[in-house]
Structures are given as structure tokens and as C-alpha cells.
Structure 1
Amino acid sequence: MTPKWWHDAVVYQIYPRSFCDSNNDGMGDLQGIIGKLDYLKKLGVNVIWLSPVYRSPMDDNGYDISDYQDIAPEFGTMEDMQQLLAEAKQRDIRIIMDLVVNHTSDEHPWFIESRKSKDNPYRDYYIWRQPKEDGSVPDDQGSVFGGGAWEFDETTGEYFYHIFSKRQPDLNWENPKVQEEVHKMINWWIDQGIGGFRLDVIDLIGKEIDKKITGNGPRLHQLIQEMNQATFGKKDLLTVGETWDATPEIAKLYSNPARNEFSMVFQFEHISLTWKYGDKWNPIDLDLPQFKRALTKWQVELAEEGWNSLFWNNHDLPRVVSKYGDVGRYRVESAKMLATTMHMMKGTPYVYQGEEIGMTNVAFDSIDDYRDIETLNFYKERTENGVAPETMLAAVHENSRDNARTPMHWDKTDNAGFSQAQPWIKVNPNYPEINVEAALEDQNSVFYHYQKLIELRKALPVIVYGDFEPVFEDHDKVFGYVRTDEQHRLFVLNNFTSEEVVLNIPVELQAANVECIISNYDYRQQIEETVTLKPYESFAVLLPA
């Protein structure tokens, strides 16, 4: 495999409105990020993935873009963006932009023109259909955010298609002019000096609406290859596609270097295993053996073709320590265990803001305290259809996107040091105990565990490129694996429970002397025939060659 700069990189995702507020208007901004670059440098990350900061009416917190080449005034100016790029570069940190090209805002100039008349030059930039003879919607397709995917527009008497909010009309990628416009915009951002792109729901751009095909449409990969050739293909940039429906075989299509598409993709198989029947509002407990099989499959299948993205959470997902760990007695231990589990695998790790200090989900008492459009829409829809409000609120506590979007905890002062003003969404009330200031003062904190993991990835090629072999595959409490290259054998063992676990270790993994490179308890000096793991214990040891 040809080495790439992003193979040993670690990416830190920033959700700008919740990261740091520099001007005390209650919303995070670009200057707030600039002020925390030294903190990120200390952590050791060398890439920042920036959730959208483009001009937007903020119907979906910036994933509804009205101007791709301007900055939302809530976040700052283009001069602030250029300063962020320059200041990050001084610290050897690259910025990757979150690019949303499946849809725009309904306030984008293209859509404003498109809806004016059926013969407008921009009409076919979007997907329009006539009503049925009785005036009803063209078909029964649904929106990801609840309700139908068609919205009637009185001006021309037709419906436009929106797979997300009705204020996020889908672009028509069958129109070559849309491709040209998007490619031109991508190249403009490349010229600004960015390090790459995360491409939001990119697996939807090949849709064939009249056949009710949305994800993985027949022209999807042709469209991506054309994008690659016209824009980032010959640049040394990190590109990652968000692909909810990807299988390993599909992921190889995206990320095999020979195909000239993306560096890697986000796949969500391991995430959706705790959703009953694929419904996030119907959460179920983790089945660890099934979970391990999913992660192992991706490690093995993409070993020689393609590249994995390694992540537990992002701006759309609940906090990992709440989902798979213990937010009570063992919060620190379980947060460290989960970090080790993911960061010792093959791929590029992504850390979501606050993950590195063990931030948790929030459980607001009232639905009125939530801001996420998806959460509010589904709460209304489900409760109106008979789901008890307390049942739905419990599901919101577990899986709402707002779990990840409460403000970053910087210290124990008012509003967690995020802002001196009332934040756009309430702060998690546990911030006096869980915050950056406290983490930096405690050498045994989750922060320093992440810092060590990042250092190890840059120091040990076996973590980056080594083969992956699972151990204890069917064990319902432990996730173990071995990473191997020509120089090293790395044995990683993780207890996913609050109980002690006794394991009989295979002979080939026993050793009188080992080098423990990381642990959340005392460092082990040997691996004997029997190992007793403490609650949420996790370690990685180099075995004798």
C-alpha cells in the first residue's frame, strides 16, 4: 500500500456553533476555534474537520447552504476563515471542509430562480415533478426527517423533492450544469488552501427519483469519478464520503486508490446495530459479538483495498461513553477503553469534540429544550401517532443528535466557559466535573489517554498498517485483537463491562515479558495463561517478536 499523509493522521471534528464563542453571542464561531488551536495542537491531532460554516438560514444548523463561497455571519467572515487556515497551518494542522452537495437551502440563489417558472434556466438544477391527476404528491417517498419528500410550490403548481427538510431541496445531479457549478466551487475552496473535504450524504447524489432509488444509484460512482478528475483528484487531499448504506464491497468502490474516488468513507454498520429494525428512536442494547463481527469485517475486507474511517461519534450521534460505556463510577475507565478499542485499529481515527474529555449525553427534562430539527419532527410525529411522550423522550435522551451538540466544556465557570451569554442550546449540567481545565490538570484524565494514543499511532507503523486478527470472537464481554507487521505483534484487549472478567489466553499470546504501550489501569509486564480484567480494563502490549 502506498503511504499517504492521512494514513497516520488523527482528525478532530468541530461543530462550530458548540465549540467556543469568542464574541459572547451564545454561538460558537471561527475566532473561538482559532483561540483553541493550541489546545488541539497539545492533543496531537493534525486535521480538523469543520462542520459547515457556509452562509445558511440554519434550518438544519448549516447543512442547508445558501452560499457555498461565503461564511455565515454567526460564525464570522471569510477573513476569519483565511486566518483559521493560516493559523492552523502554522501548527501543522490541516482543515477539511464539510461539503453538502446533495441539496442546498431553499434560500440559495439557484433555488430562488428555479422556483420562479418552469422555463427558468435554473429550473432543472432541482428535481421537480407534476402532481398526480388528483393534485396529490407524485409518489409516496418519505423524508429522512419525517413526513413526505415532496413539497408543493404554488408559483408553478409543481412539487420539488427534498429527502431532508422541506427547506433543503435536492440538487438534480442529472443536470451537467449542476456538476460544473459544484466542481467550480470545490476548486475555489481548494485554492483557499484547505486540506480536503468530508462529503455529506454523498451516496445520495446518484439517485433516480422516478424509480425510487436514493442511495447507491447506478450513476453514483461515475459522478464521483468525474468530480475527482475535475477537482481534488491530482491534489494530495483527504476526502471522506458519508455513506450510510455502504457495505465493504461498496466501500472498496469508493476508496480503492485505483478507482480515483475518495480517500475513505464513513460507514455506519456498527452504529446502527443498537437501533431496533434500523429505527434510531427504538434503541436496543449492544450485542457485543455482533458488534465485533461488524468491525472485524470492515478491518479484514478493507485490508488491501481501500481505507477505514475509525469513529465512535460525530455531530449526528450520541456520546460514545453514554452509548457503550458507563457514565457513572467507571466513566473515565470506560471512555479510555473505548478510545483504545478504536484507535488501535487500522484506519484513520476521528475524534469528536468533547470525546477526548469523556463528555456524556444530556437528558433535558422537556422536549422544549431540544433544538435539533430531526428530534423535534420525530417527537411530534411519533407522539401524535400514539407513542407515549415519556417513551419518546427516553429515546431522545439516548439517540438525539443534540447529545453531541451541547456546548463544549472548557472549565467550571458559567456556561462551561463556552460563552458569557446564554448558549444557543443549554449546557450539559455535569460540566463542573467534566471539562477541559480539569482534564489538563489530571495526568490520569481521558485527555492524556487520547494524547498518548495519537502519539503511538505516529510512532508505531504496526498500528497504521499492520494486519488485523480478532481473538475471543464469540466472547460477550471482551473485544480483543492482534495487529501484526514484520517488526511487531500488538495484542489489544478490552473489557466492555463493569464486571471483572477472567480469560484463558491462547498460548501464542502468552509472554513472560511484554512492553505495555497503553492501559487504563496498571501497566502489565507479562501475559500469563490466565488474565483477570478489571471493570472496563483495556490495554495494548507489544509481544516478543
Structure 2
Amino acid sequence: RLPAAVDSFAKAKGSHFPSPDFWGKEIVYSIQVDRFNDGSPSNNDPAPSEAEWNRIPGLRHGGDLKGIEQRLDYLKDLGITTLWLTPIFKHNGSYHGYCATNPTDVDPGFGSREELRNLVSEAHARNIKVVLDVVVNHLCDNQSSYVKHADHARCSNDLNTANWTGADASSPAQGELAMGDSFFPAFRRPEFFNRCGSNSGSDTSGQGAETMYGDFSSGMFDYNTRNRDFQEIFTNLHKWWIAYADVDGFRLDAAKHVTEDYLAYFSTHVRDYAKTLGKDNFYIVGEVAASPDWSARRLGTMQTHVENPSLHGNVPQSLLSSIWDLQPTYLSHQAARFPGMNAIYDFIFSGDSRDYLVGKSSGARIESFYRSQDYQMLAQQSDPRLNWKVLEIHDWPRIVSDSPDDLWKSKLALSYLATVPGIPVIYYGMEQGFNGRCLDEAFAVKGAKESIRSFCQGGDDAMKRQDMFMGSPWRLGSTVPAIRDLAYVGPRDAASSLGWQEDPMLNRDHDVYRTAKRMNHLRASCSPLHQGDTFYSWHETSNSGILAFSRIDAGKEMLVIVNNSSVPLPIPSLTIKSGGSFDFQNVENDLEKAKASSFTASFHGLKVEGNSVAVFARAEDLGPYNEDLKLRLCK
């Protein structure tokens, strides 16, 4: 199957697209595929009847792969270099795609294999990489059920003990699963599933045995990721997408909930295979919403010495056995001489940053984590510059959800993302000020069901996943007045045929978009911002005030001053790492300079505007003023 995919790609597209040398320079745009753009109305679900209008928020709205392809030039203009697509494989009909039923084909509501390959090819033509979302924890099947229920707690604890001791993954407390006719054939083996039964919400969100071995919910069957046959089959199925579609990376959904040996096997063999196609730095990032020690056991070196795994931290025996088997393979990989995932979400830093930006905590928490043993433990496993930094994702409310008209907060968030260490992830619509809020005036006259109005008062996931295309049924609010005026909740209209430059949902004439574009291009041009070290030089103890830090690379130092308050604040004198006497210059304003002397930068009364970020660099490190972007890029 893999050789045929390679031959098919060679005939259709030629050679595979190479990996970037350093993923830390990338700027990621996160796309909820169903909600982004409808490029092929012919593959949409039938419109709901009037009696079903109360279900509109949770239905499929029509976004697809063709719709993403139509907007690649918009994303290029924004400064995006990598796309992360939510799952596009066949699933149970849910709009989000996280209930996969067949990982070997594209869900027809999103398009076809050929459309995925064309999307990736067109993205590569613009030097934009594509990362696919892979559901590694479970398989869904509505026709399958337990005919004998498990002893949930005992089953989970038995399997967890087996993982730590290296014993076989089985338990007399496991349930018996009756697999329906539609069950994915390659996985139609009971031993491929843990069969411990359904979790409670606290089981899944916690760090007990149940979170790794229980089903998220009824119909979502938890993989037995200790099974070696399963590991090999699952990994080979996903290698195929690299060969066929030329994708550049995988984002592993729910990586917290699977065994460490599985992540080592998958990551090592996927990278090794991608290397044979010319992708010698294939990127694997995992969602691990857990404590740092859980993350460390899944990341990079996985708390082991890569050349001598006998030297290790607190890790399961099953992982050690796997690493010994994998060692010859991963040590032969020049760009990734480790068994685990390349990167994770930096959830602690991201959460602390979000709280600071909205005024719920001080910047001291951000600096404290950066200096903590937890941070150092994670940094010892893998390059922290490769971790994803997020302020919004599809599971979190929009950062301006509590201040839905605050355009300045939208600008602040985007500016901050571009200047902090790690890879920034812009959640779709962030650059258009999306706030995840319903507007009373947006309800269609006939579709304004009270049940939808009540729904809008809650915190359901659909509020975090508003539509971004005209003709769609779930267009919510924005901090940008021109985008807010497009809000609509009701029956679906005809899809827009406008090109991206005329599309009102892709408005590029407001300050939020211009800020995002300006800061993305600044980050891309300045090596201190995308690959430099970080030195924190100032924070307030209150929840409102200035946070300042330096970004430093190859002797070049840039100063970043963040103000999360609503009023201008004077910039304090800052300790810097550069010696000598010279001037720092505001990249947006030639008249604003700071005097550097004796490892101190003095700003002599200069202020940073409220809800703003000011960036300073040496004048000799900056190029000419860019009239389009309204700043000086780095040379």
C-alpha cells in the first residue's frame, strides 16, 4: 500500500515537499474545517427542517477542504506558514471530526483524498506546510456496544499496573465488546481495545488510571495502545497519508490518554518513514493536558538517556522496553535523535499568559513558570522553542469572550503571540476579532428559536467554533464592528461566490487584521523573536501592568514591553543582556528610542499604550520602514 501511494504521488505531483530546517520559525493557523469556509456546497448535509433549527449550533455547516484551498492567498497575506486542520478522516457525522470511524479515507463531507492532496500541493506552492490532526486514543462506532460490562476501576488499574511493570495488557475485569458490521475492519479485534467501559468527566480530565484506559464516552472505544500489532497497523495507516498527500506533520489528539510506549513507536517510525521521502524533519506535536511529569514522559527523550536508556527517570517498564527496541532507528535520525514527540502544547505558559492578558493574574506567574523546575524538566526532553503557544483553541472560549467589544484586547493577544518563545498558534478568526458571542439582532426572524437563545447563554463548544463564511448558519460576534455586522443565526443561505479579496468575512482593512499581519511578518524577519533565548526583566505584582522581556539570538537583543492595562504606562528602566552604549529603537516609531548603557535600557518617560505591545531593537538590526506593514522589519 505504501509503495503504491509513493508511485501515485510521483506521477501526480513529483517529489515530496521537504521539511523546514527549524519548525520554531513557523506561524501556525488552526482551522476547524467545518466552520472555516464552504468551497463545495455539493457535499453539504441537507438543510435542517424548521423543527430542527434549535440544533443548528451542533450540526455540520459545510466547511471543507476546497474552502481552505480557496483562502490560501489570504493566509499567505496574513503571514501564516503552517496550517493545522482538525480531523478530516471519516467519522460518525459530528462536525468536529474527533469521533473517527475510518482513518484510511477522507470524510465525504470534507471532500476527497484528491482534494486533500491538491490542498497540500497548493499550500506548498505558497511555502505553507500542513499538519493533520490524528485521533490516537479511540475509534467510534455507533453500531457496537458492550455485551458484558467491565469493572471500570479494576480494569483501568490492572492495565495501568501492567504498563508500569511491563506485563501483558489484560485484565479479568475487562468487558466484552460486540462489534457491529460497520466496525473498521483493520481494527476489528477485541484485543485492540482496552474494554474498561465509559469514564466520567472527572475520570477523563484527571490523571488516574481511568484517564488512560477508559472510554471517553459510550461509542468511543479506547485503543489498547500497548498491543504491538495495533501499534504497527495504526502507524502504517498514517504513514500512507505522508506518502499520498505529502503532509508535513501530525498533531496527536488526546496524547495524554495513551501509553507512552505507543507514542514512542508511532513518533519514531513515522519520522523514520518520512525521512525516506525527503521529509527529514517531520513534525509531531501532542495534546497533553496534564502535569509536567506526564508531558515529559511523552516528549522528546521521554525522561531517558537516548544513548543509554538504563539511565532514566520515573517511567513505565513498557516504555523502557520499547525504547531499547527503537534505539537503532531513532539514533540514525539526525534531526530527531529521540523516541518521543517533537513538541507539545505549552499549556501552563499559555494559560498563565491568557490570564495575564485579560487581567486575571500578574505577569509574575509567567516568569515564575519559565524559571521553574517543571519548565526545566520539559526543556531537558526537547527544544522548548518547538512547543505550541496558544491563547485560543477549539476547546477554550475566545480570549475576548468576556470583553466582546474590546478591539484592543484582540490586538494585544495577537501581538503577544508573535513575540513570546515557542510556535504561535492563531485560532481561525482570531485575526478578525471573533468573540464567540451571540447577538440578539443576529437571529433570523424565522429561526430565532428560544432554545437557541438559551443555548447562547451557556458555554457549549459550538460557542468556541463560530462560522467564518457567508451563507453559513452560525456567524457570531466580533470585536471588529464590520465583522460584527455580519453576525447571523438561522437557516443556511447560498454559499458566497466572492473571491477572498472581496469576501467580507476576510476584511483586511481593520486594526486587528493589520496588527496580526504586521506582527507575524516582524516575527518571521527577526531571529531573536522566532529562535532566540528569553530573559524576563520586569513584571508587576498586581494583575494590571507591564511585563517586559528580552529575546536574544547571536548577540542581537530585542526588548518586548507588554501592557495589559487599559491606560498608557511609563516603561521602567530594564536590565538587559547587551553591554556597551547604544540606542534601542521602537520598530513602529523611529522617534521612540531607549538609551542602553551598563546593561540597562532607560526609556526616559516613554510610555506603552494600553492593551499594547512595544518592540525595540538596535537600529543597525532593522531594515527600511515598510509602508504597508507600518514598521521596520529585521534585516
Change (3 A) 1:74 1:224: same
Determine the structure 2 residue equivalent to 1:516.
Answer: 586
- Who is 1:231 aligned against? 270
Q: 1:358 to 1:100 in 2, by over 3 A?
A: same
Alignment partner for residue 56 of structure 1, among 77, 86, 91? 91
> 1:19 is aligned with what amino acid?
F
User: d(CA) in 1 for partners of 2:421 and 2:538?
Assistant: 19
- Cα deviation for residue 60 of structure 1 reads 6.9
Q: Secondary structure at the match of 2:247?
A: coil
Note if contact 1:114-1:121 (Cα within 8 Å) is conserved in structure 2.
no
Equivalent position to 1:115, from 167, 178, 187: 178
Q: Is 1:405 the counterpart of 2:465 in the alignment?
A: yes
Per-residue deviation, 1:266: 0.8
Deviation at 1:228, TM superposition (A): 2.3
Between the aligned partners of 2:362 and 2:396, the Cα distance in structure 1 is 19
Q: Is 2:423 aligned against 1:348?
A: yes
Aligned-partner Cα distance in 2 for 1:431–1:534: 19
- 8 Å contact 2:593–2:603 — kept in the other structure? no
Q: Which amino acid aligns with 1:288?
A: S
Q: Indicate yes or no: 2:23 matched with 1:6.
A: yes
* TM-aligned CA deviation for residue 231 of structure 1: 1.7
* Distance change >3 Å, CA 401–CA 38, structure 1 → 2: same
Q: Deviations over 1:144-196 (max 9, x none)?
A: 499xx99xxxxxxxxx9754231211111122222122111111111121111
Size of the aligned set, in residue pairs, is 463
Query: Which residue number corresponds to residue 457 of structure 1?
Result: 523
1:262-308 deviations in Å (ceiling 9; x for gaps): 221013224556999xxxxxxx9721235423663489736674222
Using the alignment, how far apart are the partners of 1:318 and 1:268 within structure 2? 15
Pair 1:163–1:512, CA change in 2 (3 A): same
Task: Identify the match of residue 266 of structure 1 among 333, 337, 345.
Answer: 345
Q: 1:167 aligns with which of 219, 231, 255?
A: 219
C-alpha contact 1:241 1:262 (8 A) present in aligned 2: yes
The answer to whether the 8 Å contact 1:407/1:428 transfers is: no
The 1-side partners of 2:537 and 2:611 are apart by 17
Which runs of no fewer than 5 residues in structure 2 stay unpaired? 1-19, 45-60, 148-175, 181-186, 302-335, 441-448, 485-502, 595-601, 621-635
Shift of 1:70: 1.1
The yes-or-no answer on 1:125 pairing with 2:192 is yes
Unaligned 5+ segments in structure 1 are 130-136, 151-159, 207-219, 277-283, 371-388, 409-417
Equivalent-residue separation in structure 2 for 1:202 and 1:143 (angstroms): 15
Query: 3-state SS of the aligned residue for 1:456?
Result: helix
Q: Which amino acid aligns with 1:433?
A: A
Task: Give the structure 2 partner of residue 381 of structure 1.
Answer: none
Q: Over residues 187-208 of structure 1, what are the superposed CA-to-partner deviations in whole Å (9 max), with x where a residue is unaligned?
A: 11111211110000112111xx
Identity of aligned residues (%): 22
Q: Conserved in 1, the CA contact under 8 Å of 2:561 and 2:614?
A: yes
State whether structure 2 residue 513 is matched by structure 1 residue 447: yes
Q: In 2, Cα distance between the equivalents of 1:191 and 1:403?
A: 36
Counterparts of 1:311 and 1:43, CA distance in 2: 17
Contact 2:351 2:391 in 1 (8 A): no
Name the residue aligned to 1:495: 563
For 2:401, what is the secondary structure of its paired residue? helix
1:535 is aligned, of 610, 623, 627, to 610
Distance in 1, matches of 2:476 and 2:177, equals 40
Q: 1:274 to 1:186 in 2, by over 3 A?
A: same
Answer yes or no: is the 8 Å Cα contact 2:254–2:286 preserved in 1. Answer: yes
Equivalence map 1:123-162=2 (5 Å):
123-129=190-196, 142=202, 144=204, 162=214
Q: Secondary structure at the match of 2:592?
A: coil
Call closer, same or farther: CA 1:515–1:225 in 2, change over 3 Å. Answer: same
Aligned residue number for residue 167 of structure 2: none
Alignment partner of 1:17 is 2:40: no
Task: Specify the code of the residue in structure 1 equivalent to 2:516.
Answer: Y
Residues 13 and 49, structure 1, Cα contact 8 Å, conserved in 2 = yes
- Verify the 8 A CA contact 1:110 1:125 in the aligned structure 2: no
- Equivalent in the alignment of 1:204: 257
**CA deviation profile, 1:13-36 (whole Å, cap 9, x unmatched):** 111100001234441111111111
Superposition pairs of residues 138-537 of structure 1, within 5 angstroms: 142=202, 144=204, 162-192=214-244, 193-206=246-259, 220=260, 222-233=261-272, 234=275, 235-247=280-292, 250-251=295-296, 254-255=299-300, 257-270=336-349, 286-289=360-363, 291-293=365-367, 296-297=370-371, 301=376, 305-307=382-384, 308-322=387-401, 326-328=403-405, 330-331=406-407, 333-363=408-438, 368-369=451-452, 396-397=458-459, 400-408=460-468, 418-420=469-471, 422-423=472-473, 425-428=474-477, 433-434=482-483, 437=504, 440-442=507-509, 445-476=511-542, 477-506=545-574, 513-518=583-588, 524-526=592-594, 528-537=603-612
Residues 140/464 of structure 1: CA separation in 2 closer, same or farther (3 Å cut): closer
The answer as to whether partners of 1:20 and 1:28 remain within 8 angstroms in 2 is: yes
Deviation per CA, 1:46-77: give whole Å up to 9, x if none: 21111011111134721010110111121112
Give the Å deviation of 1:468: 0.7
Report the alpha carbon displacement of residue 142 of structure 1 after superposing the two structures with TM. Answer: 4.8
Question: 1:251 touches 1:306 (CA, 8 Å); kept in 2?
Answer: no
Shift of 1:252: 8.1
Which SS does the other structure have where 2:616 is aligned? strand
The two structures have a TM-score, normalised by structure 2, of 0.64
CA change 1:485–1:303 in 2 (3 A) is farther
Question: Residue type of the partner of 2:263?
Answer: I
Q: Write the distance in 2 (CA, Å) between the matches of 1:445 and 1:166.
A: 46
**What is aligned with 2:497?**
none
Q: Distance in 1 between matches of 2:522 and 2:265?
A: 37
8 Å contact kept, 2:199–2:214: no
Q: Distance in 2 between matches of 1:447 and 1:404?
A: 19
Q: Which residue of 2 aligns with 1:281?
A: none
| Structure 1 Cα separation of the partners of residues 68 and 295 of structure 2 | 35
CA distances 1:473-516 after superposition (whole Å, capped 9, x unpaired): 34432221111223311110111121333343236599884332
User: Contact 2:433–2:478 (CA<8 Å) still a contact in 1?
Assistant: no
Letter in 2 for 1:102: N
